[in-house]
Amino acid sequence: MRMAIGEALRLTLFGSSHGPVVGAVLEGLPAGTPVDLEAVQRELDRRRPIGRALATKRREEDQLRVESGLVNGRTTGDPLVGVVENRDVRRGPYRELEDVPRPGHADFPARMRYGEAFDLSGGGIFSGRMTVGLVFGGAVARGLLSPQGIDVLAFTRSLGGVDASAASLERRLPELRADVLSHEVGCPDLSASKRMSEAIERARKDGDSVGGVIEVRAEGLPVGVGEPFFDSVESTLAHALFSVPAVKGVEFGAGFTAARMRGSEHNDPFFVEDGRVRSRTNHAGGILGGLTTGMPLVARVVVKPTSSIAKEQESVSLSTKSSRRLVVKGRHDPCIVPRAVPVVENLTAFVLADLMARGGFL
């Protein structure tokens, strides 16, 4: 079972949702690299459920403990190991699921692949709980990007049928960040944020869930990061983003809208500004031929509605091969989008740092 991503920087996840710990091993950081643990903890705090009125009632503090690879705030050159304990674990609600798989979850294919001894409590290794390691690795990697003037931000673009206005998004990242961090749903359109919250609450009261779209942007990237074909920026980043549980689609720039455009509309005309080549539009999302263009990188991910819902659903008993009705018990988010925002943001930072290290930009 392989749980690793990256080449110049390598991130390996470990643990499980209801095991003792979750975390990650980060390899490839040069000795002497400064690591701001307070900044890393702030990113983990953005992902945790505590303090979120609209999230699961599982009470996890997500306090980071670095086990090795760091002395006096600087890396030693050894693998950096980050650990977070699972303190609020309840296995009871998942006992029935050993035989009756939840619709929308990995229970059925995982049981067929790995057998009855495989631990699927809380989703096991397929759980969103595993994204703690992604945030840890990405938050550390941001320390390599910031000195290069590279900034990465993700936000909720759409949720439960409510869209952020285009006008609210036409701002630089520092401006957007202030509004993203000011509201639980992570949307820079504060008017839409209120309606998104209401959509989540309606779904919760109905015993149901909603999904949405997260947009991530990166500014300050140099020209030429990435490789053609299989290690293109799109290929590498999409590979990573699809690893986030509940992500069902990824697009860059104009994305699927490009299918309805002509070449004359989609092409981004070049011009020179302050001695730099730029483009007047950014339908390419800051990427051409798999390489960064120096324009902002823009990507979006589709996040499905949370699969664990309180409504009764149809399933089967794997032992008797007979139909069963199932009500999922336990504590679950009625919408995973807001907590996935920092995951998408930090995972994008990790991928960009890895690509830059591979290409000799770091």
When pLDDT is cut at 50, 70 and 90, the band that residue 119 belongs to is confident
Determine the pLDDT at residue 91: 59
DSSP code for 342 = H
Residue 58 pLDDT > 60: no
Closest CA to 335 of 177, 196, 215, 133: 196
Residue in 325, 348, 304, 315 with CA at minimum distance from that of residue 131: 348
For 4-358, CATH gives: 3.60.150.10
Residue 1: the pLDDT is 76
Residue carrying the six token digits 């989703």: 123
Identity of the amino acid at 326? L
Residue pLDDT, tens place only, 6-18? 999 999 999 988 7
DSSP codes joined into one string, 29-40: PPTT-B--HHHH
Name residue, tokens 């609020």.
88
Q: Per-domain residue ranges for the chain?
A: 4-358
| Contact (CB, 8 A) for 78 and 69 | yes
Amino acid at 103: P
For residue 90, what pLDDT is reported? 67
The closest alpha carbon to 213, from 260, 266, 255, belongs to: 255
50: confidence class by pLDDT, cuts 50, 70, 90: low
For 110-124, 201-215, 306-320, which range has the lowest pLDDT when averaged over its residues? 110-124
Could you report the per-residue pLDDT of 319-358, keeping only the tens digit for each?
A: 999 999 988 876 678 999 999 999 999 999 999 999 999 9
- Distance, in Å, from the CA atom of 348 to the CA atom of 154, rounded to the nearest integer, reads 9
Report d(CA 314, CA 327) in Å as an integer.
Answer: 9
Check pLDDT > 70 for residue 125: yes
pTM for this predicted structure? 0.95
Task: Please say whether the dihedral angle defined by the alpha carbons of residues 273, 277, 278 and 279, taken in this order, is positive or negative.
Answer: positive
| Alpha-carbon gap, residue 65 to 87, rounded angstroms | 14
Dist. CA 350–CA 43, nearest whole Å: 13
**Burial tier of 264 (Cβ tally within 10 Å: 0-12, 13-18, 19+):** exposed
